[in-house]
Structure formats: structure tokens, C-alpha cells
Amino acid sequence: MTLDNTTLLDACRRKQPAHTPVWFMRQAGRYMPSYKQLKGNLQITELAKNSELASEVAIDAVNRLGVDACILFADIMLPLEGLGFNFKIEENVGPVMQKPICTLDDVKALKEFDAERDMGYISDTIELTLQKLEDSVPLIGFSGAPFTLASYMIDGIVNKDLVKTKQLMYGQPETWQLLMEKLTKMVQEYLCFQVKHGVHAIQLFDSWAGCLSCEDYNQFVSKYTHTIFASIPKVPKIHFCADSGALIEQFQKAGADVLSVDWRVPLEDVWRRCREQVAVQGNMDPAAALAGGEFMKRKTKHVLEAARPYCGHIFSLGHGVLKETAPENLQWITEKVHNLTSSRR
């Protein structure tokens, strides 16, 4: 099996791609009319468990936008069901836990995760998505990182300050350690399972780790993420974190091939601080894609200019596509990036 478009994999490996690859986090989502139609009245978790529909929404986004990668349609919360942990994903709110983790006994009560048993619908979705892609572009698998998953399990709901998470992390070290060990094992197994079923690259979402100081990241998070990356065979590994400017060196040490950063940190700083030993994904503000018009056009060129001297750039937004974004804006960005960067060769 050979892929027609290897630009994403080339950029991940810091090989010169035919053009700068583009894809968007949440490229399959509510901003897209066809997504809303396919989703109908289903909950996001129901949609993700319906492999036929899940593969369809993933492919639809690729076809509509002309991007260089497909992302598996799922959600970071889903494998937690395998631990016997219950939650809902509420529209416009995000994940809400039925009974957040508070004590060591809560962590001890979590069940053993088994990817083959608990995530059968994910291997089906991977298989169907790969079939429908017909080797056109790579498929990116993903998982939430232990810290970000733990933050939902403990805080109970999206909460930017993560006060309860930090309170437990600082005040109950034994509980924190056991929870991170269990999540690390789950994420390792889940990602290896996705690789086994054929994804071409993986992205680890540590969306909320940017709320930590370097010192805390090193003490409470780093070793777990490192263990995960070290155990993934073969495929390129992308590490995403919002607001990661203070943590760039720590992120590099975690061992991914690509650091995915947001608009708060200049791209050139990331390459410089990592001595150009990583590929970089990002970093246009999703609000610029939402705003469209001249501002978006200038920003697109600005991001490309910032990346131009370096090897291994994947054009993306700094975080997920915002709900009201016009699909035409993302289409415009994709075409522009392709045109401007293929003519440079």
C-alpha cells in the first residue's frame, strides 16, 4: 500500500514535502453543513460509535476541504468508558462527568482497559475510513494525554483553571500517581491498537497541560507522556498542547516528532528553542479563520513566512475549528498554502 499524498508524513519526518501539508483539528464538525445533516439527532458519542457514519464525516471533511490528512472521527473521552468511567458530552459545553474522581478508592475502582474488547467500533471506523480514503491521504489516529483526561475526570467539567485537578495532584500524590499510571497504560494500549489497525500517524492531545508551570509539568506529567511516545511503533507522533509557550523544551523532551502549538507562540521560537530537531504544526488563530477576509489572508501568508526558513512545517490552526467558521474559509486557506508552497520548490 502506497499513499498518493505523503506530504504530511514527509513533513513529520522533516523531509521536504511536495507542498506544505494542511489539516485542521475538528475539521469534521458542526461548522460543516454535511456533518450536521449526517449527525441528525445523534449524540456525538452515538455518532462516533456508528463506524459507517463516523467514517463518512471524516471523509467528507477531507473531500470538502482538500486537506492533506484525514483524522479518525472519535473523541478523546471514549476510551474512558473502558475503565468503567461514565460521562456525557453536552453540546456547547463539552464532557461532563457523572461522578468525578476524588479519592484513591475512586482510582482503584477503575476497571482494566482492553482495547480489543472496549474499542471494537474504533477498529471498524479505521478500517472503513481507510477503505474510503483509497490511499489518497494518511489517516491520523489520536488519544487524549493522561493529564488532559485526568483533568476532565477530576474537575468534572471543562474548567480552564483546573483547580480541583491541581489540588489533587499537589495534595494526594499517591492518588495522582495511580491515576496517571492507569491512564498511561490505557493510552499506550489504545494508540498501539490504532497503529495496528492501520493509522499512518498519531496525535496526542494534551490540550490543557499549558496551565502548568515547567516545574510541575516535569514533576507530575512529563514521564508519563514520555513513556507513551516511547512505546508507539513506526508511525510519526504529533504532540498538541494549547498555550504551550512556557513548556516548549519540556515538550520536546517528551519525544514526539512534531510539536503542535497555538498562535500565542511564534513558530520561529519553537524551532529555535528545539534546535530545529522537531517538525512544527500550527499555528493560525482559529478566530482568524472564522473572521475570514483580508485578515485571514494576511495571517495565512504570515504563518507561511514564519515557517519558511525551517524544515518540517504542517499548516494548521492553533486549536480546533470554531463552530461558526465558513467551510469556504478553510478551503481558501488550504488552496493558498498549497499554491504558495508548491511554487517554491
Binding mask 46-75 for ligand CP3 (x = CB under 6 A): -------------------------x-xxx
CA dihedral 301, 204, 139, 344 (to 10 degrees): 20
Q: How far is the CB of 161 from ligand CP3 (least distance, A)?
A: 16
- Quick one: which of 3, 18, 94, 218 contacts ligand CP3 (CB under 6 A)? 94
Residue of the chain from 7, 27, 151, 225 that contacts ligand CP3 (CB under 6 A): 27
In the complex, the smallest distance separating the C-beta of residue 105 from ligand CP3, rounded to whole angstroms, is 26
Residue of the chain from 85, 176, 193, 205 that contacts ligand CP3 (CB under 6 A)? 205
Which of 235, 227, 295, 192 has its CA nearest to residue 12?
Answer: 235
- Nearest approach, Cβ of 49 to ligand CP3 (angstroms)? 12
**Pattern 310-329, binding to ligand CP3, x per CB under 6 A?**
----------x---------
Q: Is 2 one of the binding residues for ligand CP3 (CB under 6 A)?
A: no
What residues from 229 to 288 belong to the interface with ligand CP3 (CB under 6 A)?
A: none
Taking CB under 6 A as the criterion, the residue among 29, 100, 146, 156 binding ligand CP3 is 29
What is the smallest separation between the CB atom of 322 and ligand CP3, expressed in angstroms? 9
How many residues at the interface with ligand CP3, by CB under 6 A?
A: 23
Segment near ligand CP3 (CB under 6 A); pick from 84-92, 131-139, 188-196, 249-257:
84-92
Q: Is 207 in the site for ligand CP3 (CB under 6 A)?
A: yes
Q: What is the per-residue DSSP string for 282-334?
A: EEE-HHHHHH-HHHHHHHHHHHHHHHTTSS-EEEEESSPPPTT--HHHHHHHH
For the CB of residue 73, give the shortest distance to ligand CP3 in the complex, in Å. 5
> How does 241-268 read in b/e, with b if 16+ C-beta sit within 10 Å?
bbbbeebbebbbebbbbbbbbbbebebe
Inter-residue contact 138 to 201 (CB < 8 Å): yes
Single-letter amino acid code for the residue at 265:
V
The smaller minimum CB distance to ligand CP3, of residues 196 and 323, is found at: 323
Convert 92-114 to b/e letters by CB count within 10 Å (16 or more is b).
eeebebeebbeeeebbeebeebe
- For the bound state, the minimum distance from the C-beta of residue 108 to ligand CP3, rounded and expressed in Å, comes to 25
Q: Is 26 in the site for ligand CP3 (CB under 6 A)?
A: yes
Half-sphere exposure of 212 (CA within 13 A, CB side): 26
Please enumerate in sequence order all residues whose Cβ is within 8 A of that of 299, keeping only pairs 6 or more positions apart, or say none: 284, 285, 288
Angstrom distance (rounded) from CA 41 to CA 127: 25
CA distances from 37 to 28, 100, 326, 328 (A): 12, 33, 16, 18
Query: Which member of 12, 28, 169, 303 binds ligand CP3 (CB under 6 A)?
Result: 28
For ligand CP3, the binding residues (CB under 6 A) are 25-30, 44, 71, 73-77, 89, 91-92, 94-95, 142, 158, 205, 207, 320
